[in-house]
Structures are given as C-alpha cells and as structure tokens.
Amino acid sequence: MFVGVVLNPQARKNRGAPADKAERLARLLGPHGEVVQTHSVDDVPRALEQLLPRSTHLVSDGGDGALHCLINEVANRLGEDAPADWPTFVPTNGGTIDFIARRAGVRGRSWTIVEHLASAASRGDEPENVVLDTMAIDGERVDGERFHRLGFALAAGGIGNRFFDKYYEDPTPSPSTIVRIIATTVGQFALGSVGAVENTGYSDHLFRPTAARVTVDGVELPTEAHAGLHAGSIDVNFAGLIRLFPQARHLGTLHFQAGAIRPAVAIRNLPRLIAGLPVIGENLLDVAGTEMCIEAKEEILRPIIDGERYVDIQRMTVGLGPRVRIARVRA
C-alpha cells in the first residue's frame, strides 16, 4: 500500500492551511506515500507522472473539481478498459460540496485521513472500499473536437446548470449560498407573479429552459424546451441540503431528468428534493435509464460535471462509465 496525495494549496479549503502543509502531510505518511503539490488542474498530469503506477491510493486534497480531474487523468493514462487496475481514490472533506466523500462515507479532513491511511499502510491493513458507478460523457464541441469525460453528476442545462452560475458568483460558496439562492429565487418568483415587485431577472435566469433535442434510451422527448437536463450515476447529497438522483442508488443504473416543468411546479418539488424523492411534473421525465443523448438547439451547451464547467459543447451522449473504488476512511 502506497499513498499518493495530490495537494492544491490554492484551493478554497486550503487557503487557511499552514504554508508547509505538504511537508507536514509527507511526515505523516513517512515511507508509505508521497505528496505532490499542484496549482491548477493543468498540473495534475505532472503529479500523476510522479505518483503512478506505484500509488495504490490517491488522495485528492483540492477544490470541488479536484477528484473529478484526478479520475479523468488516471483514465487518460491507464485506459478505461481495466478500472480494476486503477488506484483507489480518497476524497477529502472541507470543500463546498463534498458529495463523493458523503456518498462513500468518508469522514475527517485531509490531516486525519492521511494519518489514518499511513497507519493502515504500516499495519498492512487496507481500508474498506466502496464501489461507485461513473458516467461516460461523450460528445462534440462546436469546432468538431471530440469531448470525453467521466463524472458522477451532470447538469447539462436548465435549472441545475444555471444554479451554478449563481453559486460560483459567491467568492466563498457554502451551504448558506445554496439557501440564499433558493430563497431569492422563490421569493422573487412569488412576488413577481403577483406584481408586488419588478422582476430583476434572477428567477428568470434560473428558470429559463435550455433548447435541445433529447432522447432517453432511444425515445425522443416531445419537447425541445428543457427545464432541466440532468444525469447522475450515484445518489447525491448536495452539501447536506438537497438529495438528487435517488434512482442511481444502485449499481448499473443512471438517473436522468429532462423535459418541461413550470417554475411553480419546480418550486413545489423542493420538499421532494430535500427528502431525496424523484421530481414530479406533467411534462418532465425523471427516470432510471442507461443512455441519454443531448443535441443543443439555439444555445450551445455549457455543462457542469462534478462542479467543473465545460464550454462550447454541441452534442453529448451520457452512458455508464467504469466503476471506481473509493476508500471509506472514517478518520
């Protein structure tokens, strides 16, 4: 067992950490691992050059998209045909979302997680693993370039996608940011509907549908105006406030959402989202499935995958990807 730690000291959750955090983590690991610092996602390939293939466990100590970038770079280097040969991934807590750590039952911050892994390595006793599905998202950019990513949660358009526009406007996003966005959207929509206030466009932005041609498991949806274009390979606990994609709770199943839903109906579904129940809408498809195809109409897609924004996507196909191992560290 050898533990590789990919540390981004500039990530929001690490900004208050000691300047010598890398050295301290390295001392905790001793002979059982190595720490490599990165400063952006562009440094991840260099980090993996140092850590692969000897690392049996890869710790992601960065922002919301750090684990996403790490998994995709491992897939690029080792290929997707034999994920059993990949390292086991270890997310750390302290970010703004941490939904993979929540799903896998990972507890503790990077300090205690690394210490726990080092102790396990010294005993020759690996921690328990949780196996999770990923999605394989294949597509084409506007310029014809191929697009391919693995991920756990996709907001390709509609409410979920536009939510992140507001979420990352906050310089320090947190669960309170989510509450503020929901309260502002609901309040403005309610007051605007009765003419009590002039609409400033906040709720209009979140509720503006995305125009796209969509098929789910070979069946084309009857509308091209989609209030949400979402997919998940796991059930997601979003910052401890909202629970998404409950139908992806079991391996081998993706959860898709597409179609039209009126703003008032979307608001009425908030208690269901908090409780982790499927969304109900007369013209909304909220189903378990294996493949969703999306082709942009009018507005080019700017999907969010695991908190990372991608741009200039013309079309994409979402299907089951390789399964990955997450170490259930309870430090």
Q: What is the mean pLDDT of residues 102-124?
A: 94
Other C-beta atoms within 10 Å of 274: how many?
12
Architecture of domain 153-305: Sandwich (2.60)
Q: What pLDDT score does 287 carry?
A: 96
Q: Worst-scoring range by mean pLDDT, 10-24, 101-115, 123-137, 243-257?
A: 10-24
Domain ranges of the chain: 3-133, 153-305
Q: What is the mean pLDDT of residues 177-199?
A: 77
Question: Which tens digit of pLDDT belongs to each residue from 31-79?
Answer: 999 999 998 888 999 999 999 999 999 999 987 788 999 999 999 999 9
Q: What is the mean pLDDT of residues 179-186?
A: 90
Q: What is the mean pLDDT of residues 236-244?
A: 89
Cα four-point dihedral sign 70, 71, 75, 78: positive
Q: What pLDDT score does 200 carry?
A: 59
Q: Which two tokens stand for residue 141?
A: 């950019």
SS3 330: strand
Estimate to the nearest angstrom the gap between the alpha carbon of 270 and the chain centroid.
20
Task: Give percent above pLDDT 90 in the chain.
Answer: 76
> 28 pLDDT exceeds 90?
yes
Identify the residue with better confidence: 146 or 298: 146
Residue 295 sits at φ, ψ, to 5 deg, of -125, 120
Cβ(59)–Cβ(31) under 8 Å?
Answer: no
CATH superfamily of 3-133: Probable inorganic polyphosphate/atp-NAD kinase; domain 1 (3.40.50.10330)
Average pLDDT value over all residues in the chain: 92
Q: What pLDDT score does 249 carry?
A: 94
DSSP 8-state symbol, 13: G
Q: What is the mean pLDDT of residues 149-154?
A: 97
Q: What pLDDT score does 17 carry?
A: 79
Q: What pLDDT score does 326 carry?
A: 97
DSSP 8-state symbol, 322: E
Cβ(44)–Cβ(57) under 8 Å?
Answer: no
Residue 327: pLDDT band (50, 70, 90) is very high
Q: What is the mean pLDDT of residues 10-18?
A: 80
